[in-house]
Amino acid sequence: MEPLVEVEGLTKRFPIHRGLLQRTVGHVHAVEDVTFSIRRGETLGLVGESGCGKSTTARLILKLLEATEGTIRFEGRDITRLSAREMRPLRRELQMVFQDPYSSLNPRQTVGQIVGTPFAIHGIEGSTRSKVQDLMERVGLNPEHYNRYPHEFSGGQRQRIGVARALALSPKLIVCDEPVSALDVSIQAQILNLLLSLQHDFALTYLFISHDLGVVRHVSDRIAVMYLGRIVEIGDAGDVYGVPKHPYTAALLSAVPTGEAGGEMKRERIILSGDVPSPVDPPPGCAFHPRCPKARLVTGSPDEVPENCRTEIPPLRNSGGRQQAACWYPLRPDDELQRVVSHEPRGS
Amino acid sequence: MPDGEVLLDVSGLSVRFPTSDGVVNAVDDLSFQVRRGETFGIVGESGSGKSVTNLALLGLLNRRAANIEGTALFKGRDLLTMPPGELRRIRGKEIAMIFQDPFACLHPMYRVGDQLVEAIRAHERVPRRQAAERAIEVLAAVGIPKPRERFRDYPHQYSGGMRQRAMIAMALLLNPDVLIADEPTTALDVTVQAQILELIDRVKKEFDIAVVLITHDLGVVAEVAQTVMVMYAGRAMEQGPRQQVFGKPLHPYTWGLLESIPHVDQKVSRLVPIEGAPPSLIFVPPGCPFHPRCPHRFGPCDQKRPEFRDRGGGHAEACHLSADEKRTLWAERQERFTRAAV
């Protein structure tokens, strides 16, 4: 079956203007050469730290931003260079759920107006009110609250309004950009369960973005890990989390506090030194090499990394496991770094 | 139980804010002790009263707007009734604090070093040069590379993680006894969060202090705290040693929290959310504040407020269910949870 979305060599650079003449003095390399596809009915999780380009990637796919290079195909059709007018019929198929349920709903509109607007824009016939109330019921809101304003709802309920709006036109792809990050933990699970049951009922495809690795694991069939604008590892959720191939994935997973240390911080953990470098001037070669613990194991010195890590960009390729990783020295099953993160499943 | 000396002894702390809509019961009858050498974790969702507790202890609430009751003894002196001048000498020196947002806590137009020197000289009469030397030493201790050069940088030249390190350095300058950290890693990325948690744990040991860690992240508390207090609607629901609270939780709210969080290392087919939403603090449900969302509620839950009692080994909680009923219910829930694992 053909994938729903195919992205090839996707690149986005934002120019930096300086001075009186607003000359371009450099670029923010937000997304660099990203290639992946999303199959129908699956959830692709996109994880990474802030500034790694995951939200930019989502916005490029939805054509809220214009790609600098590369192609985006939706149902086999190249949509990369479509104009806003040409995109309009396609908008029905591509929807988005935003992070902040406070700022993404117009405070001056009622729920009925918010969820009903897509029907008006696309000139859908029939009673908008009954359609909106069906949707409200489906996402777990009381349909009688049709005339209420967003401020009368709690954070979790507002996010349900956002979901209902995204669902209104029966889209094929929903991009969820940090949909539960602004919610309390006891509410997060409600929204995650809602998204999963909607996916099941309406055969939806999700691109799910989050910085919370546990949340992504829970909802995703496949996972792509991004670092400084590039995908460093992509594959089935179980493979990427269970036997990570890229040292960055391993470090990211080991950094998540799970409580297994027993209050003593004793758990083996890969602590990365330093911070994510600036995307204005990404390091040459593998962007992760200045922080990479594996490269230092290879050379056996804390100050040295192998030459190809510094000079050549590693391609995303199959390296032993089922997933693909962009690394010259991918982790092997007996690797010290991989042992740190592969746990025995608990409770069994 | 950690056996260091008791540094903070809070008893019957209540904070109420009278507003035109009614009285907001932000904190209701809270009691706990923090000992030297331990990390005391306070965990709760937004609006559970964890930050207000912290602000009340530090005298950072406007006493005209807030109605504060109870006592909070720090080395035998009550922080809540102390004159402002005396409190000012303790705050920042003996009790230091770090906050969530390291961006907002440093003045953008002064050099980081000058801000550190100012913090020292606000409490001690030392020459500027000597204060600077001490500041550079502490910057090095919290892992700022090239501290002598970084001392002269402005906050915008620091990354998020380094700013939080600088804040920790500022907190440690005057050798405090207690460090209160309110969501210290929430604004940080996960790899940087790991660095900062490790740092807080290290300074706790090196400086032999007590840390009060306030967070909404159960994973963080479970990772670094020795004693944990779970708060809901301004009250303590459960409190005890980490192994007890996470290993053998006693309160249905704690159960709900633990079951609703997706894990990195285990996939379950379906999360079990806590139904409903946290209550308004103006209209806190009578009896147990959690009863409208509790699947195990029965007779007395909506009438009588459950007593917060020690059930042995310093593991206290507030729930009407008997110990036997709880053991059975938790075993059933765990059984269901394990079956849901895929």
Condensed to tens digits (0 to 9), the pLDDT of residues B12-27 reads 999 999 999 999 999 9
Among A193, A258, A261, beta carbon nearest to B270: A193
**For A86-109, b where at least 16 C-beta lie within 10 A, e where not — what string?**
eeeebbbbbbbbbbbbeebbeeee
Report, as an integer, the average pLDDT of A141-151.
93
Residue A287 has a pLDDT of 93
Among A189, A218, A238, beta carbon nearest to B273: A189
Report, as an integer, the average pLDDT of B104-120.
92
The pLDDT of residue B194 is above 90: no
Residue A112 has a pLDDT of 94
Could you give the CA distance from residue B258 to residue B90 in angstroms, rounded to a whole number?
37
Closest chain A residue to the Cα of B272, Cα to Cα: A189
- Identify all chain A residues contacting B265, using CB atoms and an 8 Å cutoff: 241, 258, 343, 345-346
- Identify all chain A residues contacting B339, using CB atoms and an 8 Å cutoff: none
Could you give the CA distance from residue A268 to residue A255 in angstroms, rounded to a whole number?
10
Report, as an integer, the average pLDDT of A185-202.
92
pLDDT tens, residue by residue, B161-184: 889 899 999 999 988 999 999 999
The pLDDT of residue A204 is above 50: yes
E strand or H helix at B68, and its extent? Answer: strand B67-74
Classify the C-alpha dihedral A201-A223-A258-B41 as positive or negative. negative
Residue A348 has a pLDDT of 27
Which B residues 234-253 touch A at CB under 8 Å?
Answer: 242-243, 246
pLDDT tens, residue by residue, A93-137: 999 999 888 889 999 999 999 999 999 988 888 888 999 999 999
| Euclidean distance between the first and the last CA atom of chain A, given in angstroms as a whole number | 36
Q: Please tell me the distance in Å from A261's CA to the nearest CA on chain B.
A: 6
Do the chains contact at B271 and A184, CB–CB below 8 Å?
no
Using a CB–CB cutoff of 8 Å, tell me whether B166 touches chain A: no
* A1-93+171-220: CATH, from 3.40.50.300, 3.40.605.10, 3.30.9.10, 3.30.465.10: 3.40.50.300
The pLDDT of residue A138 is above 80: yes
Using a CB–CB cutoff of 8 Å, tell me whether B222 touches chain A: yes
Could you tell me the pLDDT band of residue A266, with boundaries at 50, 70 and 90? very low
The pLDDT of residue B325 is above 50: yes
The pLDDT of residue A264 is above 70: no
Whether the ipTM is more than 0.85: the answer is: no
Residue A19 has a pLDDT of 83
E strand or H helix at B23, and its extent? Answer: strand B22-35
Average pLDDT, chain A: 88
Q: By CB neighbour count within 10 A (0-12 exposed, 13-18 middle, 19+ buried), where does A210 fall?
A: buried
The pLDDT of residue B301 is above 90: yes
Q: What size, in residues, is chain B?
A: 342
Residue A134 has a pLDDT of 94
The pLDDT of residue A8 is above 80: yes
Domain ranges of chain A: 1-93+171-220, 246-341
Could you give the CA distance from residue A7 to residue A56 in angstroms, rounded to a whole number?
13
